[in-house]
């Protein structure tokens, strides 16, 4: 079999978060090509933003993704506040972290239980998993609901929240409004710890690569909204220097841009990058979860990202409870904003990895130019390389198994692409 040539071609799918196809060509047992093609909606949004008021950016960019709208809002407001010389601190900053906790819980749990766990447990989807193991899926749904409730309370609704603005929020919650959430979060953290134990018991393909991990790093916090951009190869820079080190390039086979390091190398963003670069910033309970689950200090097996997501879910529950416990409502729901001409850069940690925004603003706050680099774009090249190496190491697997594992390998990275892979159709042509 290994001497054979084959083409693995997976076309295609349409989903709100992206459209993707997979193509792997094997000649005489060697992988000679591995491509992941994705059409990315965010490119249109950069043009939509031109000529709009800065105040519209959080609501327009939230529409880029139904799974991580908070990330788009957060990167947008931080970039614009940077351009206006405004810093948001105290309870408003804490509430932004709380909102982000909600999104991480929603997004991670959706990915763990609905998209990724069925791969490991041998089911085609979460519905089949639910038929045999309703208690597992039920746990995921209950946990996710707590994330939804955080986003609903702070954001105004579960998806595409409408309560975020440059300078803070339109309305902030009272302590009394947060109290029921605190109770639910205690339960959610237990469920998250059970999720870690579930993930720890899965069987992982033996696959490690030499990755360059990139994430934010903050002096005191596990990163959400703020930090320097650091990498496992030693990069350490302030967010405004991001574009000096990372470049988006067009590749012929994809309408989506690939983001690469200055020397053209791929890199890896997302939970595994965050964990590897920031494990010492996790809460004690999340660290203990990681330790008891046998999660290595530096994890290089992307299939184990499901375990890292579970650990981050424990952290998000922990952090949300800390914020609620310490919360004292601010005097005003937002700090005053005075528009001025300038350029602002924002980078925050979306569930799937760093999300970079840059805005050039006119003196009245009109957006002249916008640049948005989503995590999906940044991981694409790395995903292709994973597919290349994974297929090479498993070229003798049957068509069915190899296809499944390839899709699973894609799902290691990104729920949006994972969505796309659910509709993929596969063709395998074999020739000598």
Partner 1 sequence: MLILGVGNVFRGDDAAGILAARRLAQRLPQARVRECDGDLTAALDAWNGEDCVYVVDAVASGATVGTIHRFAAHADPLPACVFRGSTHAFGIADAVEMARALGQLPQQVIVYGIEASGFEQGQPLSPAVAVVVDEVVDRIVKEVASDA
Tell me which residue of 81, 80, 40 sits closest to 64, measured CA to CA. Answer: 40
27 is a contact residue toward partner 1 (CB under 8 A): no
Q: Quick one: which segment of 141-149, 226-234, 301-309, 405-413 binds partner 1 (CB under 8 A)?
A: 141-149
Q: Which stretch binds partner 1 (CB under 8 A): 127-135, 235-243, 270-278, 348-356?
A: 127-135
Least distance between partner 1 and beta carbon 117 (Å): 14
Tell me: does residue 14 bind partner 1 (CB under 8 A): yes
Stretch that binds partner 1, among 139-147, 164-172, 242-250, 363-371 (CB under 8 A): 139-147
Region near partner 1 per CB under 8 A, out of 59-67, 96-104, 358-366, 424-432: 59-67
Task: Work out whether 159 is an interface residue with partner 1 (CB under 8 A).
Answer: yes
Question: Residue 44 interacts with partner 1 (CB under 8 A)?
Answer: yes
Q: Is 126 in the site for partner 1 (CB under 8 A)?
A: yes
Residue 362, CA distances (Å) to 87, 241, 358, 432 in order: 19, 21, 13, 61
Q: Does 182 bind partner 1 (CB under 8 A)?
A: no
Check residue 417 for interaction with partner 1 (CB under 8 A). Answer: no
Q: Which stretch binds partner 1 (CB under 8 A): 60-68, 89-97, 310-318, 330-338?
A: 60-68
User: Would you count residue 138 as binding partner 1 (CB under 8 A)?
Assistant: yes
Any contact of residue 63 with partner 1 (CB under 8 A)? yes
Q: Establish if 187 lies at the interface with partner 1 (CB under 8 A).
A: no
370 lies in the site for partner 1, by CB under 8 A: no
User: Alpha-carbon distance 202 to 204, whole Å?
Assistant: 6
Q: Which of 28, 87, 125, 255 binds partner 1 (CB under 8 A)?
A: 125
Q: Is 215 in the site for partner 1 (CB under 8 A)?
A: no
Quick check: 375 binds partner 1 (CB under 8 A)? no
Residues paired with residue 164 on neighbouring β-strands, in sequence order:
169
Total residues interacting with partner 1, rule: CB under 8 A: 31
* Residues whose CB is less than 8 angstroms from the CB of residue 300 and which lie 6 or more positions away in sequence, other chains included: 208, 209, 210, 211
Q: Which two tokens stand for residue 24?
A: 């792997």
List interacting residues with partner 1 (CB under 8 A). 13-17, 41, 44, 63, 66-67, 106, 110, 114, 125-127, 130-131, 134, 137-138, 141, 144-145, 148, 158-160, 415, 419, 423
């Amino acid at each position: 079999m290994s001497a054979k040539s084959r083409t693995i071609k997976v076309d295609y799918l349409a989903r709100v978060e992206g459209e993707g196809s997979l193509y792997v060509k094997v000649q005489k047992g060697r992988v000679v090509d591995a491509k992941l093609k994705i059409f990315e909606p965010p490119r249109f949004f950069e043009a939509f933003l031109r000529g709009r008021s800065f105040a519209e950016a959080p609501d327009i960019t939230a529409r880029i993704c139904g799974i991580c709208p908070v990330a788009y809002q957060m990167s947008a407001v931080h970039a614009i506040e940077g351009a206006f010389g405004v810093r948001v601190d105290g309870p408003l900053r804490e509430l932004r972290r709380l909102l982000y906790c909600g999104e991480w819980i929603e997004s991670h749990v959706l990915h763990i239980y609905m998209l990724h766990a069925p791969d490991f447990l041998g089911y085609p989807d979460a519905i089949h998993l639910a038929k045999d193991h309703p208690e597992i899926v039920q746990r995921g749904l209950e946990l996710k609901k707590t994330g939804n409730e955080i986003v609903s309370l702070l954001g105004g609704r579960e998806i595409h929240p409408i309560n975020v603005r440059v300078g803070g929020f339109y309305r902030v919650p009272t302590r009394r409004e947060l109290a029921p959430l605190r109770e639910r979060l205690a339960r959610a953290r237990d469920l998250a710890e059970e999720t870690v134990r579930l993930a720890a018991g899965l069987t992982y393909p033996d696959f490690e690569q030499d990755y360059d991990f990139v994430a934010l790093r903050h002096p005191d916090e596990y990163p959400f909204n703020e930090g320097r951009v650091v990498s496992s190869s030693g990069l350490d820079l302030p967010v405004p220097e991001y574009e000096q080190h990372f470049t988006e390039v067009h590749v012929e086979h994809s309408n989506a841009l690939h983001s690469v390091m200055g020397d053209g190398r791929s890199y890896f963003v997302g939970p595994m990058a965050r964990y590897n670069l920031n494990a010492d910033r996790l809460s004690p309970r999340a660290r203990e979860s990681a330790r008891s689950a046998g999660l290595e200090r530096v994890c290089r097996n992307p299939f184990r990202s499901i375990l890292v997501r579970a650990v981050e879910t424990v952290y998000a529950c922990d952090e949300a409870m800390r914020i609620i416990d310490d919360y004292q409502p601010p005097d005003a729901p937002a700090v005053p904003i005075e528009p001025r001409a300038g350029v602002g850069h924002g980078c925050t940690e979306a569930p799937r990895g760093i999300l970079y925004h840059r805005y050039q603003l006119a003196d009245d706050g009109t957006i002249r130019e916008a640049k948005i680099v989503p995590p999906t774009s940044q991981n694409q090249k790395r995903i292709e390389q994973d597919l290349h190496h994974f297929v090479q190491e498993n070229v003798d697997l049957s068509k069915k198994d190899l296809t499944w594992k390839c899709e699973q390998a894609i799902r290691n990275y990104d729920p949006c692409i994972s969505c796309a892979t659910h509709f993929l159709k596969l063709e395998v042509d074999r020739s000598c």
